[in-house]
Amino acid sequence: MKLSIISYNLNCLNSSYLEERIRHISKLIIKRQVDLIALQEISKPICKLFNRIFSEYYTIVQDFMNTNDSVGNVIFCKNGAINIMDAYKFDLKSNAHVSRNAIYCKFNVMDIEHDRQHKMSIINCQLEKTWNCHPTRYSQIESILELDELKNDTILTGDFSILSNDEKANLLLHRSGFKDAWVEMGMPSELNYTYDYKKNNTPNMEKYRSRQDRIMYNLRFGNETKVRVKEFTFIGYNPLKINNDVEDLYIYPSSHFGICTVLNF
């Protein structure tokens, strides 16, 4: 049995060529046909657009469309593979002008080979950014790890905004019992930085490189099954061509690279 997941910060706060970027991202995602799609920093108009594009294949889980938040997090669950049981949003303490939250979804995933279902959960989050907010990130991760829902087999994914390996928030994550798909894949150096100003030409990017975006998991299934990472790759790693009246432009779909992993168990 396998479970495939995409996590992607869409950077919808950047309005430059947004529709072209988002339609390109949607094509990349649909081509993958993964089981779970976790998106961060998605605006309300883009959320509606994605829901229209994905409605044939996925059911959306979101809780920000009726709020004052300009952007939020969503999860798309593949129809026929994922049976949604429960979902809700919880706020994370933040000092930013952008609301920080996480969205939780409990679901059953069908194991066709053994004719049974596995109960699992996924948490999709976006944590506080910038260097001087590392104490806030630490407390946000603490609040996530204290959730009772983590007693279940859980996928923890999103934009963690962690800027260095020495950051206390990073060390807390790796003490938590969650395994990091990139680490379990052997830490491929070419897939290290999901935010990379040297590779990505998105305007107004801050000048640093970091592995902000992660897919982590704590899957035991009663200790009867060993989980292996079969695949870990980037999405949106190459620029798309934009035609305009002056010259052709080559821009990246987002300031972040999306990540995709396949878990075998």
The rounded distance, in Å, linking the Cα atoms of 9 and 255 is: 8
Mean pLDDT by 10 residues, the chain (265 residues): 95 91 94 96 93 94 82 93 89 63 89 79 90 84 86 91 90 91 96 96 90 93 75 96 82 97 93
**Residue 143's CB: how many other CB atoms inside 10 A?**
15
At 178, list the tokens: 């969650």
CA nearest neighbour of 70 among 152, 31, 127, 13: 13
Contact in structure between 264 and 4 (CB atoms under 8 Å): no
Residues of 33-52 as b/e, b for ≥16 C-beta within 10 angstroms?
Answer: ebbbbbbbbbbbebbebbbe
At 198, list the tokens: 């040297």
Cα–Cα distances (Å) from 145 to 59, 205, 218, 251, in that order, read: 26, 30, 11, 37
Contacts 24+ apart (CB under 8 A), 221-226: 221/118, 221/153, 221/265, 225/265, 226/265
Residues of 79-116 as b/e, b for ≥16 C-beta within 10 angstroms?
Answer: eebbeeeebebeebebeeeebbbbbbbbbebbbeeeee
At 258, list the tokens: 């999306």
* First-residue to last-residue Cα distance in the chain: 5
pLDDT value at residue 108: 92
DSSP string, 66-135: TSS-SEEEEEEEETTTEEEEEEEEEE----SSS--EEEEEEEEEEETTTTEEEEEEEEEEE---SGGGHH
User: pTM, whole model, 2 decimals?
Assistant: 0.94
The rounded distance, in Å, linking the Cα atoms of 237 and 84 is: 31
Residue type, 43: S
So where are the chain's domains? Answer: 2-264
CATH number, span 2-264: 3.60.10.10
